[in-house]
Amino acid sequence: MASHVRRAFKYRFYPTDVQAAELARTFGCARKVYNLALAARTEAWMLRQERVNYKTTSAMLTAWKKTEELAYLNDVSSVPLQQALRHLQAAFTNFFGKRAKYPRFKSRKKSRKSAEYTRSAFRFGDGKLTLAKMAEPLDVVWSRPLPEGAQPSTVTEAQDAAGRWFVSLLVEDQTVEPLAAIGRAVGVDAGLDHLLTLSSGEKIANPRHERRDRARLAKAQRELARKAKGDGANRAKSRGKVAKVYARIADRRRDKLHKLTTRLVRENQTIVIEDLTVVNLLKNGHLARAISDAAWSEFRSMLEYKARWYGREVIAVDRWFPSSKLCSACGSLRVKMPLHVRTWTCDCGTTHDRDVNAARNILAAGLAVSACGAGVRPQRNTPGGQSATKQEVLRREP
C-alpha cells in the first residue's frame, strides 16, 4: 500500500454574485469545449478512421479561441478548458479499455456543472482559496480541517441541481495509514427488509431515506408537472424544489453509508460481500425503487476504497452462489427458497434465519477463496444426496 493516500475534501461555499457569474461562464465554456472536442474526435473517426488524441484537441482549442464565434472562450481561465479535454481523453481511454460506453455530449440542463483548476490556476493559503480570474477569495465553510501541511493539487468547483455550491480539494493525506491487523472477518448479506445482515447475527436497519421523504417529493413533482414546459422562471423554481428534496435524500443516505462502511473496516480484517449486479436487479419493476434507495453499489464502492486505505481486505463472492438455500450447519442445499420465506428448518434440525444464514455462507465462501483460491461455488449436496451444479441451481431458482 502506498504511504500517502490522495483524498478529496469537499466543502460548501457561498459565492458573490460576481463569482457566481464567473463560475457559470466557466462551466458553460468547459462544456462547450468538451462537446466541440467530442464532435471533432467522432467526425475524424467516422470519416477518416483517424484517432484524435488530447494533444490534437489542445491545438484545436487554441484555434477555436482565435475565431470570432468562439472568442468568448478567452474570457475564462484556460485551465478548466484544458482539464475538460483531459477528462474527454480519460473517457475515451475507458471506452477503448471496455470499461465504459462511448462518451456522450454534455447537456446544459442535465449534465453536472463543474470546473477543475490545477495548481497554476488558484492560490491557497491561510484558509483562503482564490481562483484565477477572481479578485476575492471564495467564502468557504471549512467544516473539517485539511491534513496538516496539505496543499491541494487540483480544486474542483461545482453547483448541484439544488443550486448549492461545493468545492473539492484533492490533497495527499499522510495521516491515512494501515490499521493494526486483527483476526476478525465478517460476511455481509445486503437486503431490503434490513440494509445489511452480518454473519455475527447483527441486523442493520434499512433507513429507507427515499420513502421517508416520498410525500414531500411527490408534492414537489406535482407542482413541477403543473408548470408549462420550457425555460420559464416558475418551472425553474419548481425544478429546484424537486432537486432540493433529492439532495436531502442523497445527503442522508451518503452520511449513513460513510458511518457504516468506516465501522465495518475498523472492526474487521476481512469483509466478504456478494458480487451483486445492481444494474440487472433494477430491471425488477416492483423492487427497483427500493433497490436504488438501498444504494448497494455506493456501499461497495465506499467499502473497497476504505479497505485499500486501511489495509483491510474485501472479497466478493459469485453472485450465483446460493447463500440463502445452503444450510450453514451441514451444507445441504434446498431446491427452492421463495423470497417470502424468512426462516426455515434444515433436515439436520437447524432452524435458520434466512439472512443470517446467507451472511454466514457468504463468509465461509469468501474465507475459502482467501485461504486457497478456491471457487466460491463449492459442490454441495442436495437433500436428495445429489451434487448441485450451477446450471441446476439456476433452473431451480423460484
pLDDT digits over 191-229, tens only?
A: 888 999 999 999 999 999 988 899 999 999 999 999 888
Average pLDDT over residues 93-100: 93
Q: What confidence category does residue 300 fall into, taking pLDDT thresholds of 50, 70 and 90?
A: very high
Q: What pLDDT is attached to residue 335?
A: 79
Q: What pLDDT is attached to residue 72?
A: 96
Q: What pLDDT is attached to residue 20?
A: 96
Sheet strands (E) in 135-264: 140-141, 154-159, 165-173, 185-190, 194-198, 203-205
Among 38-42, 113-117, 280-284, 379-383, name the one with the lowest average pLDDT: 379-383
Q: What pLDDT is attached to residue 353?
A: 87
In angstroms, the CA 366 to CA 355 distance is 16
pLDDT at residue 69 above 80?
Answer: yes
Q: What pLDDT is attached to residue 373?
A: 55
Contact 87, 102 (CB under 8 A): no
To which H or E segment does residue 6 belong? strand 5-13
Residue 169 CB partners (closer than 8 Å, separation 6+): 8, 9, 10, 11, 124, 129, 146, 152, 154, 155
To which H or E segment does residue 129 belong? strand 128-131
To which H or E segment does residue 128 belong? strand 128-131
**pLDDT tens digits, one per residue of 158-176:** 999 999 999 999 999 888 8
In angstroms, the CA 116 to CA 31 distance is 12
Q: What pLDDT is attached to residue 233?
A: 87
Report which residue type is found at 199: S
Cell 496543499 identifies what position?
A: 151
What are the residue numbers of the active site?
A: 189, 274, 355
pLDDT at residue 55 above 60?
Answer: yes
In angstroms, the CA 91 to CA 102 distance is 8
Q: What confidence category does residue 153 fall into, taking pLDDT thresholds of 50, 70 and 90?
A: very high
Q: What pLDDT is attached to residue 374?
A: 47
Per DSSP, the three-state class of 315 is strand
- Angle of helix 17-48 relative to helix 54-65, nearest 10 degrees, comes to 120
Per DSSP, the three-state class of 271 is strand
Q: What pLDDT is attached to residue 381?
A: 40
Distances, alpha carbon 305 to alpha carbons 88, 208, 309, in Å = 24, 24, 6
For the chain, the 3-state helix, strand and coil shares in percent, each to the nearest 5, are 45, 20, 40
Is pTM beyond 0.85? Reply is no
Q: Enter the C-alpha cell of residue 243.
A: 432537486
**pLDDT tens digits, one per residue of 79-93:** 999 999 999 999 999
pLDDT at residue 384 above 80?
Answer: no
Q: Which residue has the higher pLDDT, 278 or 268?
A: 268
In angstroms, the CA 380 to CA 344 distance is 18
Contact 387, 395 (CB under 8 A): no
Q: What pLDDT is attached to residue 375?
A: 44
Q: What confidence category does residue 276 fall into, taking pLDDT thresholds of 50, 70 and 90?
A: confident
Average pLDDT for the chain: 88
**pLDDT tens digits, one per residue of 356-378:** 999 999 999 888 876 665 444 43
Q: How big is the chain, counted in residues?
A: 398
To which H or E segment does residue 345 belong? strand 343-345
Contact 165, 13 (CB under 8 A): yes
Q: Enter the C-alpha cell of residue 150.
A: 496539505
Among 64-73, 149-158, 282-291, name the one with the lowest average pLDDT: 282-291
Q: Enter the C-alpha cell of residue 290.
A: 427500493
